[in-house]
Structure 1
Amino acid sequence: MKDLFSTDSQRYQQARPTYPPSLLQSLLQYIPERELAWDCGAGSGQLTHMLASYFDQVVGTDISQTQLSHAEYYDNISYQLQPAENTTFPDHCFDLITVAQAIHWFDFEAFYAEVRRTIKPSGILAVVGYGLIHVDDLEINAKVQHLYHQTLNGFWDAERHYVDELYQTIPFPFDEIEMPAFQIEAQWTLQQLLQYLNTWSAVQHYILEKNLDPVQQLLSKGRDLQDQVSIQFPVLLRVGRCS
């Protein structure tokens, strides 16, 4: 598992989008027991804290202590520094295992072996993520698309292709459950949009190599950073049970 986000964990925690509550409601109908959930690759806890309302106990793990230090803490959440592929958890203890916007960094085979070891027979694995942002402002959206596909071409890590392929090409050796489509929708200021784009790993690679910030080129002169835009992300989702 790669750690690409420790260097600016606070920005990541503040700028990354949150998942729609309807996604969790849809997952919960397949989970008969709700004692213990594991959010793997939790980062700064965008999904972990959402699980806390539905499970007796939630464990969030990551390989970045810096990321975990910016997560929201609740009485029934334990954040632990553990790799996805080799944990200290007991066998068959989890009712739900989630991975949010992180599965593409994992060693699939090793992680799935850990899922099979630690999940209850009635439990499910939910692999969640989100694709490329869409902005309703046509000028800004065109610039974001150009940034993603042209400016940052060659700066994305190889694993990014799994996100571009909407997680449909990740190995998923489980009995898959068909799920409805979900979308993240929000109103952001242009300042929030720029902050989000600066969390892209490819942007940070670009800055390190060229000593230029490609995100700052997105705004035309005269645009107010407090102007609001509507944004959407397609939610990526694979859900299954161990056979």
Structure 2
Amino acid sequence: MNLPRNWFDQGGQAYARFRPEYPSGLAEYLASIVPDTRLAVDVGCGNGQLTGQLAAHFSSVVGLDPSADQVAHATARDNVRYCCAPAEALPLADGSASLITAAQAAHWFDLPVFYAEARRVARPGAVLALVSYGVLQFGGELDTRFQQFYREEIGPYWPAERQLVDSGYSTLEFPFEPIATPAMTIRLEWSLDEFLGYTATWSAVRQAREAGRADLLQGFANDLTHLWGDPERRQPITWPINMRVGRL
């Protein structure tokens, strides 16, 4: 069976469409532990996946990202303002934020500088949450083949920072009063096209293509196509959510 299209040729253009959404309970939980719900700030917001969910719980939300392209693909909401800014220079007033989040982004930050900025903009008792999701899981043979691809085949093409994500940020410096967090999981059901569209957004896939290893990517896609069966069949996929949450 051949792939209906070559998803790996799309590079990162499908980012906004294929990134997994966080469960609604994540934003609800974060809103429950802050001193008030006046302002939430999502740093490294990308196309606003978590930013938009926070909007349901806070009077005002600011999404910040250094990439104009990512911000351009964010969904507009009445109480959300997006702008381009790095994590190390937050365009916010002192003592203004009740919640500061960084979802799947903190491993790119200059953490000491970001932490200093977070302290500056935080209201008394504000919360800082570094959120990430771990390696996805299928069931059965699909999972066996995927884990081989992720760890052994595509693994050498991940940037070094990826190890921080895989460890759930457990090794990051986090000099704040910790808050215990509930277990959460992203659960989706995807067709073959959707899954391959998601893998096409990986930086490691782009690196492998640039290194001339399109054969490695196509071999994995062919194997998945065989194991998947009907490409329209929606397979259950899960990602564990990891958090480092603290009081500023």
CA contact (8 A) 1:124 1:241 kept: yes
For 1:127-146, what aligned pairs fall within 5 Å after superposition? 127-136=130-139, 138-146=140-148
Equivalent residues of 2:12, 2:200 under 8 A apart: no
- Cα distance, 1:9 vs structure 2: 5.5
> With CA pairs under 8 Å and 6+ residues apart, which has the higher RCO, 1 or 2?
2
Match of 2:229 in 1: 223
Residue type at the aligned position of 1:177: I
Q: Secondary structure of the residue that 1:72 maps to in structure 2?
A: coil
Indicate which of 94, 110, 116 corresponds to 2:119.
Answer: 116
Verify the 8 A CA contact 2:28 2:57 in the aligned structure 1: no
Q: Which runs of 4+ in 1 moved over 4 A?
A: 7-10
Aligned-residue sequence identity (percent) comes to 40
SS in 1 for 2:130: strand
Give 2:161's aligned residue.
159
Q: Is contact 1:38–1:60 with CA below 8 Å preserved after alignment? A: yes
8 Å Cα contact 1:183-1:232 kept in structure 2: yes
SS in 2 for 1:97: strand
How far, CA to CA, are the matches of 2:136 and 2:184 in structure 1?
A: 14
With normalisation by structure 2, the TM-score equals 0.90
CA–CA separation in structure 2 for the residues paired with 1:195 and 1:230: 16
Match of 2:50 among 47, 50, 58: 47
| Counterpart for residue 39 of structure 2 | 36
Normalised TM-score (structure 1):
0.92
After the TM superposition, which of the residue ranges 117-126 and 218-227 deviates more from structure 2?
Answer: 218-227
1:237 equivalenced with 2:246 (yes/no): no
Residues 40 and 97, structure 2, Cα contact 8 Å, conserved in 1: yes
Deviations 1:171-199 (A, max 9, x none): 11100101111111111112111111111
The separation in 1 between residues aligned to 2:11 and 2:221, in whole angstroms, is 18
- 2:28 is aligned with 1:22: no
SS of the equivalent of 1:112 reads helix
Give me the whole-angstrom Cα distance separating, in 2, the residues matched to 1:12 and 1:47.
14
Q: What residue is the counterpart of 1:80 in the other structure?
A: 83
Task: Pick the structure with more helix per residue.
Answer: 2
| SS of 1:219 mapped into structure 2 | helix
Distance between the aligned counterparts of 2:125 and 2:208, measured in 1? 45
Structure 1 residue 25, shift from structure 2 partner: 2.1
**Aligned mates of 1:8, 1:92 — CA distance in 2:** 40
- Residue range with higher mean Cα deviation, 223-232 or 60-69: 223-232
* Letter paired with 1:113: A
| Rounded Cα–Cα distance in structure 1 between residues aligned with 2:213 and 2:238 | 30
For residue 204 of structure 1, what is the amino acid of its counterpart? Answer: R
Q: Aligned equivalents of 1:211 and 1:161: distance in 2? A: 22
